[in-house]
Amino acid sequence: MPGPGFDFQLLHADGGARAGELETPHGKARTPLFMPVATQATVKGLTPEEVKAVGAQIVLSNAYHLYLRPGVETVRKMGGLHKFMGWDGPILTDSGGFQAFSMGPLRKVTDDGIRFRSHIDGSEHKFTPQLATANQEGLGADIIMCFDQCIAYGATEKQVRRAMERTHRWAQSCFDVHQTSPTGAATGQALFGIVQGGIFQELRDESARAISAIPFHGYAVGGLAVGENKEQMYRFTGQVADLLPPDKPRYLMGVGSPEDLVEGVARGIDMFDCALPTRVARNGSLFTPEGRVDITKSRYAEQQGPLDETCDCYTCRNYSTAYLRHLFRAKELLGLRLASIHNLRFVLALMERIRTSILENRFDAFRREFLDVYQPADEAARQRQKGQWLLSRSG
């Protein structure tokens, strides 16, 4: 049964890096943290027990997808999202704004919401701030997100400003609805506001001040990791985090590369989510302390030991690298599952090590040591992959 409401305690800071603790109706979570993505009430291919075993404290589900299928009312009748998916820990849901926006020509944005056609059957729907909030309240998540207007990378300053100002109005509407709803704030459910503003410094400042003026339970940095380069992402993340209330959690949306997690924490971020660890795992790309490797390469055909000798995940404790490569070459589903387990454990273990280093006042040293060894994916390749993924979300 749900317990007390939402709270955040900042326990220690080491420079800009922070260690804290979230309290939610479904348990506590230590920050900084990473949330595996359970888009349709499941982390693809894994059971809730397996997700918990790799160290996940919170998972993220998508209100857009669950609204379309099986429907918010169905989930509510089944006892809420926690019971429906068999996960007894905290859940965060996003509003569905990004998904509705990514419908491309199948959507139309107006001042009162986004009208779109379902990617499943073409039926027409409209999300408003009020409906997006009610949907998430109906799902019963511990943390829900404001409805915001996402804007494509490369948009003009005028276009970004228009979307940002709309996002601010929608944020106030979401807050007002949530405050008066019997299934919202009264139940201990937290609502986070989202800062927008694209890659324009003045707009980011303006948005951070406008959103933080509304007393949300936490604040998110949105509209990054959508095509800008890493230097830009890091710069705007730090800029926004410096303007957010220090006593509230800060969430960088859609970021999950190991090097980005380290750099995000350095800039004061407490929470992250991304489908990247499991998405690349299903394509045979696995994390190691030195960077990503392609498990299908011939060099791994006869490697007897685990892929990562330092990893304590189920995959590395029980199977050889050669066997894992064989599963991928044979197109066996077990390969996708074992790779997903490994990548999630790598990321979640990294967050545990980051937190320990903060509490021991040695985060800067940890950061240098990690980045000296870990080689990020090629930037051009990363941008191509991101573009392909964004295109697939809108098709």
Task: Out of 14, 94, 148, 260, pick the active-site residue.
Answer: 94
273 among known catalytic residues: yes
For residues 267 and 240, give the distance between their C-alpha atoms in angstroms, rounded to a whole number: 9
Indicate the DSSP class of residue 7.
E
Neighbours of 379 (CB within 10 A): 10
Q: What pLDDT digit, counting tens, does each position of 126-179 carry?
A: 999 999 999 999 999 999 999 999 988 999 999 999 999 999 999 999 999 999
Contacts with 98 (C-beta within 8 Å, 6 or more apart), sequence order? 64, 150
Q: What pLDDT digit, counting tens, does each position of 17-41 carry?
A: 999 999 999 999 999 999 999 999 9
Residue 250 forms beta bridges with which residues?
219
Strand ranges inside 65-142, DSSP E: 91-94, 107-110, 113-117, 124-127
- The answer, yes or no, to whether residue 50 has pLDDT greater than 80, is yes
For residues 259 and 267, give the distance between their C-alpha atoms in angstroms, rounded to a whole number: 13
Token couple for 273: 């989510």
Which one is the CATH code of 7-275: 1.10.240.10, 1.10.238.10, 1.20.1250.20, 3.20.20.105? Answer: 3.20.20.105
Q: What pLDDT digit, counting tens, does each position of 231-264 carry?
A: 999 999 999 999 999 999 999 999 999 999 999 9
Identify the weakest region by mean pLDDT among 89-98, 204-213, 304-313, 377-386.
377-386
- For tokens 């959103």, name the residue: 211
User: How does residue 97 score in pLDDT terms, banded at 50, 70 and 90?
Assistant: confident
Q: What does the chain come to in residues?
A: 395
Task: Out of 14, 148, 273, 308, pick the active-site residue.
Answer: 273
94 among known catalytic residues: yes
Q: What angle do CA 83, 88, 257 make, to 5 degrees?
A: 115
Q: Where are the domains of the chain?
A: 7-275, 281-379
Neighbours of 44 (CB within 10 A): 17
